[in-house]
Structure 1
Amino acid sequence: MASDTTAAPGPCADVAVVILNWNGRRWLEQFLPTVLAHADGATVVVTDNASTDDSAALVTRFFPQVRLIQNAHNLGFCEGYNQALEELHATASFRYYVLLNSDVEVTPGWLPPLRALLEQQPKVAAVQPKIRQYSSDAATRQQFEYAGAGGGYLDRLGYPFCRGRLFDTLETDRGQYDDLRPVAWATGACLLVRATAWHAMSGLDTAYFAHMEEIDLCWRLWNAGHEVWYHGGSTVFHVGGGTLAKSNPHKTYLNFRNGLALVYKNSPSAELPGVLVQRFLLDWVAALRLLTQGQVADCRAVLRAHWYFVRHVRQWRQRRQQFPPRLRIDERPGVYRGSLVWAYFAKGKRAFPALTRKLFNKT
């Protein structure tokens, strides 16, 4: 399986493509050769989160051109990336970092357009490409993928969604999102971020451990005066759920806990009380729905998430004070001022174009 692909000098020599790995040997074996083949001069780094499979040995043996960083413990998504990028910052002068999931297939020319956008637009601190589903089935490969799709949005209560994906409903890519535009958040599955902005924000918030941490980062970037964009001229394919199944009580717990933390940390003081009350109520409705569907463990996960948030509210308050919210809901691009939950479940609006256009902030 030896690879003779080497990183030649190219337009992305100031970029580090960083792949965080935990027991993902199969994904590295499958997708790392393609990343190297289409790196356009970028340095490719694999950060191993104390895997118990032979991921690190695979990289060392078959991909010697890859820089390998080995953590002594599983630090999770946030701290794993934070430590890796701090090490790169201390030992090299990269202008840009790419956070890339191990289960992502890149395509020829995927990276230069993203870098060019940040070169041309100094206020843009982060950008994501179009994310489509990885599959051997041609029709499925035309569908958008859950993690980012055609760019990340938030509704007025901080619920995240994407162009091309509302809850579990996916659109087929017909070129409808081939544009470039500001968005509320960009996916951590494939995220190019300006190194100076990353370090100014202290990277990802480690309290999240995993899930919604990139939304929090992007929200903080907007509050700090930066911009976050989507670039439809670049495409990658994401397996999705490659390291954690979509239906998983632990994932349910993290999503609900981190969802509350997200709005608490980043909503301005005038809006926060109303947002929190409504989020709690809707979360309880979601827990009841899970219970009636026989998903008892997931229902308990929602309640545990609320209990953790309440017990650790001081921790979230300290993080809120570190990066104070600045933008009101009507000042943030990529925000739907309606309720996505109401539009989707009560009104049956299953695709992004069906949402009421006048309720979107102008971008």
Structure 2
Amino acid sequence: MGQPNAEDEEWCVTAPDPLTVSVVTYSPGEHLDTFLDSLRLATTRPYRVVLADNGSTDGAPERSASRPEVTLLRTGSNLGYGGAHNAALVGVTDGWVVLANPDVRWEPGSLDTLLAATARWPRGGAFGPAIVDVDGALYPSARELPTLGRGIGHVLCGWWWPSNPWTASYRRERGEPVEGPAGWLSGSCLLLPAEAFHRVGGFDDSYFMYFEDVDLGARLDRAGWLSVHVPSAVVVHTGGHATAQAADRMRDEHHRSAYRYLSRLYPGRSRAPLRWTLAAGLWTRAALSRVIGRVGQGAAPQRHSELLDSETR
């Protein structure tokens, strides 16, 4: 792994002060209160929260803005997930930033555990916790960067053959979770140095939903930073609160973003047949996902949170 792009300066991560937590909201309901209440127990460090609101109509962001640590930012339109985080972090150029969904519940001390890991990985550009769903399944939140072959195999087989070799390789679901670098980390809960986030240009807001975190991980990697999975830090993610409000559109966005990312890996006329094959597979899967009523995330998680160190649970 190469050095970060810098002018002959030593890259060193220091103490996280200030700490800014960016949360994208779209009628988050009671999830937002749970997020903010659990965050208070997740760290002993001072922090501020920016709610980047994409057009909520339930009043939850306004109620939460009465908390002293919370600032409400109305984005003016639905900018998508990455675009709203970008708006929240304009001018936040030092310290640390947390990017999160409002339907995350922090386990006590989990953010401090993430912050402690940064000392062990001085080239870390992103740090992600273990993400557990409400049923105890361990979500595969630290994955390899997708390639065309791995991506097509996962897209076509993951939803009906979850143990297929392409999905297992891509989602890194073999064995126990260990701390260390991954290709990319789930954007539902991330800790980053603000400098790293801005040096790579933040999120690519051409991704309205999905794959913005894959793309961010790829750009961090190219710039010389590591994406580090820290399974000793644990959060619980309800998932789907926003996507359920427009399920058909989100299914389409998932497949559109997958095509955007993978097709960019293989540009040029000579590779057009590869892109055609990819498009055919994705749109077939999109049609099937409409029939079976799933957003298109593929195989269900294959591991359980019992694999995590009991001291972190």
TM-score (normalizing by structure 2): 0.74
Which of 22, 26, 40 is residue 26 of structure 2 equivalent to?
22
Q: Does residue 57 of structure 1 match 2:62? A: yes
Q: In the TM superposition, what whole-angstrom CA distance separates every residue of 1:191-250 from its partner, at most 9, and x where no partner exists?
A: 111211111111111111121111111111112222212111110000010111299221
Q: Any residues of structure 2 matched to 1:1-363 within 5 Å, and which?
A: 12-45=16-49, 46-61=51-66, 63-89=67-93, 94-134=94-134, 140=135, 142-145=136-139, 149-157=140-148, 159=151, 167=159, 176-245=175-244, 248-266=247-265, 273=272, 275-287=274-286, 289=288, 293=291, 351=302
- Offset of residue 267 of structure 1: 5.1
Larger radius of gyration: 1
Aligned mates of 1:33, 1:290 — CA distance in 2 = 35
What is the Cα deviation at residue 151 of structure 1?
A: 1.4
* 8 Å Cα contact 2:16-2:95 kept in structure 1: no
Cα separation, 1, equivalents of 2:30 and 2:270: 45
SS of 1:144 mapped into structure 2: strand
**Percent of aligned pairs with the same amino acid:** 23
Q: Provide the rounded CA distance (Å) in 2 between the counterparts of 1:221 and 1:202.
A: 10
2: CA distance between counterparts of 1:179 and 1:24?
32
Q: Which runs of 5+ in 1 are unaligned?
A: 1-10, 135-139, 303-340, 353-363
Q: Secondary structure at 1:245's aligned position in 2?
A: helix
On the 8 A contact 2:53/2:74 being kept in 1, the answer is yes
Aligned partner of residue 249 in structure 1, secondary structure: helix
Runs of 4+ in 1 over 6 A off after TM superposition: 268-271
Q: Give, in whole Å, the separation in 2 of the partners of 1:270 and 1:121.
A: 41
Whether the 8 Å contact between 2:128 and 2:190 is mirrored in structure 1 is yes
Of structures 1 and 2, the one scoring higher in RCO (CA 8 A, sep 6+) is 2
With over 3 angstroms needed to count, the CA separation of the structure-2 counterparts of 1:130 and 1:161, relative to structure 1, is: farther
Q: Distance in 1 between matches of 2:71 and 2:48?
A: 6
Under a length normalisation based on structure 1, what TM-score does the superposition of the two structures give? 0.65
Report the residue type matching 1:79 in the other structure.
G
Which segments of 5 or more consecutive residues in structure 2 lack a partner in the other structure? 1-14, 169-173, 304-313
What RMSD over aligned residues (CA atoms) do the two structures have, in Å? 3.6
